[in-house]
A and B are shown apart, each in its own frame.
Chain A
Amino acid sequence: MAEPARAGDVAVEMAGIAKSFGDVHALDDVTFRVAPGEVHGLLGENGAGKTTLMNVLTGLYLADRGDVALHGQHVDLRTPSDAVGHGVGMVHQHFELVQAFSALENILLGAVTATWSMDTASHRERIADLADHYGFTVDLDTRVADMEVGDQQKVEILRILYAGADILVLDEPTTHLTPAEVDHLFASVRELAAEGLAVVLIAHKLHEVFAVCDRVTVLRHGRLAGSLDVAAAAHADVVAMMMGDDATMVEARAKTCDIGEDEVLSLRGVTATGGAVDVHLHDLDLQVHRGEFVGIAGVAGNGQRELMELLAGLRPITTGRMHASGVDVTHARVDERIRAGVAVLPGDRMREGVLPASPLYETYALGRHLLHDHFSPHDLQDQARDMIARFDVRTSGPTAPTASLSGGNIQKVLVARALDVSEHAGGGAMVVMNPTSGLDVGAAAFVHDQLVRTCEAGGGVLLISEDLDELLALCDRVVVLSHGRLAGQQVAGDYDRLVLGDLMVAAHG
C-alpha cells in the first residue's frame, strides 16, 4: 500500500506554519519533517499546539501562513478530504466512529466511494487480511458502541489504512490503553513503519516515546523547540526542551498530614446489580478518612466505571449503605451528593465532563451551580476568570467555547471544579478517575499536587486509576478491584507490585 521509501525522500514537510485563534497563537513559524519509514514523536506541554499542527496537516484547519509538502510535492490542503486524497490519515484524541455501525461499516465509510451497490464480501476479506497482517484483530461485525476503547482504536487505524493512507497521525493513542495494549500497538506501529509508512505519534509519556520513536519534535507554546534523534538523546534533553528554562519540574509533594478518624466517604456491604452493565459490584466495604488518600487499582473493565457512577449517584445501590461525612447518602441523588461534598471527576472527560459548545465558565459551573443560593451568570464568569488565573489555564478567557481548549487545559478546569465542590463541604470526598490521562508531565504533577492538598485541607481522596505508578506514588493505601469485588489491599510502605498484580488478574472465585 505504501510506496517504498526512497533515500532522502521526505514524506511530510511543513514549513513556517502559523495559526492563530483570536489572540491565541496556537502555532508560530513551526517547521516539521517526517521521513517515510519513520516513527516520529510529537511532544510538548498541554496546549503547545500539537493537535493544531496535525489538524493543519489533515486539512481540518487552514494555516494562516506556511507551506505543506508531501513526498516533495507542494499540496494545498483545504479540507479533510484533500488530505485523505493525499494519503494522510489521523486518529484523533477523541475518536469519531459512528457508534451504531459495525467495525466493518465504519471502515467502509472511510474508504469506499458511495455507489448503489457494494461488494461487501471482497472488502471484508481484504480488511481481514490487512488486520491480520498488522495485528489489529477485531471482530468486524461488532457494533462500535459495544467495543472496548482499545478495539475502537484498532478500527480507527484500519479505517485509515484501508483508505490508502501512507502518512498516519496518532494523537495520544495510548491514553486509554492498558500497558499490554500499548505494547501491542507499538509493535504494529513499528511494522507499519518498516513497510515505509510515515507515522506521527503525539504522546506525553517519555518512556513510550523512547520505546517506539526514531525522531522527536518538541513544541513549546506554539513554537518549535527542536528536533532530535531518539537514539542520541536522553530523557533529560527532551524534558528540558519541553519545559524550556521558564519552568522547573513540579514534583508531587509527599503528603504532610495524618489520617484522621472521621470518614468522609464510606461504603458498607454495598452491592449494585441493577441495569444492563458488564460488571456488577458486590460486597464493597471501603472507607476513606479525613486526610486519607486511597487508591483503587485494577485492570480496566473490572468495575471502575461502575464504581465511579455508583459513588456519583448515577447507579442505584441495591443493598448496603453509603455515607458521606457521616450523612447517609445511600439513596441520595447526584445533586444531593454534590451538596454533601462528594466531588466526582469522571474518567471520560469529553463525554462525561464538559459542555463542549458552551462557554468555559458554564462547564466550570456545572455541579458547582448547586452550591450557592444565589445564581448569577456574572458571578460565574468572575469565578471562572479567577480559576483560570490560579490554575494557569491556557485560554482566551471565561467565554471561550469549552471545546477550543486543549485536552490538558480542559482537565485542569474539571479538576478545579471538583476541588471547589469538595472544599465547599469543608473537606469532602474527591473521587477521581484516571485524572492525569493525556496530561503532560507538568500538568500531571499539578493535578497530583492539588489532590494532596485536598487531603491536607481535611478532605479525602479516592483515586481510581489504571496507572499503578501513579497509585503507588500517591496513595496511603491501594485497594484492588477485580470482577466488581474488592480483592485485597496493601498499605504504603509494604507495596509489592507482584502481589498487587496477582490480585488484579486473579480469577474471581
Chain B
Amino acid sequence: MSNVVLELKDVDVFYGDFQALFKVSFKVEEGMTFAFIGANGGGKSTLLRTIAGLQRPSSGHVLFHGEPVDQFPAHKRVGMGIALVPEGRRVFPSLTVRENLVIGAYGGRKGDWNIESVTELFPLLKPLMKRQASSLSGGEQQALAIGRALMSNPELLLLDEVSLGLAPVVIKRIYEAMVLLVGSGHTILVVEQDVQHVLTVADYVACFLEGKVALEGKPADLTSEAITAAYFGM
C-alpha cells in the first residue's frame, strides 16, 4: 500500500452556529497534488486552515502519517512539516522581505529551501529584500507569502488561492515548481479558482459545495459538465 501522508476522518467545523464543514473525509498519498475547487464560501479555506491547525474541528480527526494531530497547535505542525499559504497575501507588513522569509523558517525543518532558492523561484523578490513588506505590490506580497511557507521546508504544502494577483508568467513558474516539488516527494494541497489550469497538475480533485465534497476523482475521470454541475449543486 502506498504511503498515506494526510487523512481526514469525518471532520466537522463550526464558526459559532454556522457549520462550515460537514463530515469531511479523504486520504492524501505522498507525492500527490490534491486540488480543491468549488464556489467561494464552500469551505475550501476552512479545510486548509483546519489541516494547518488554525481551526479546530468540533468532531472528527486530522491524521498526519497515521497519527492524530488534533491536539497540536499550528506552530507545532509547522515543525512536523505542514505549511500553509493562507488566503489573501498574509505577510508581516512592518517587517522587511528578508525578515519575513527568515521568520518563515522558524520552527521549520531542514531542507533545500532557503533565501537563495526562494529568490530563484521568484526572481522578482530579489531586489526587494530590504523593503518593508507593506510597500510591496499585490503580486509581490503573494510571492512573498508563498516563499515564506517554503522556507519551513514543508513536507505537506497547503496553498490557498495560489495564483491570486500574480502575472501569468509567475503563475507558470509556480506550477512548474509544484511539479518539481511533488517529484521530490512533497505533497501539495491546492485551492485554485483557475480550474482548467489546476487540472493540468492535479492527481486528484475534490469539488466543495456548502461544506461538503460534491464531486471527487481523477481529473481524467471528471467531465467539465460534471464539474460545472458540482459547482452549482445540480
Are both chains from one complex? no
The residues of A with any CB-CB pair to B shorter than 8 Å are: none
The residues of B with any CB-CB pair to A shorter than 8 Å are: none
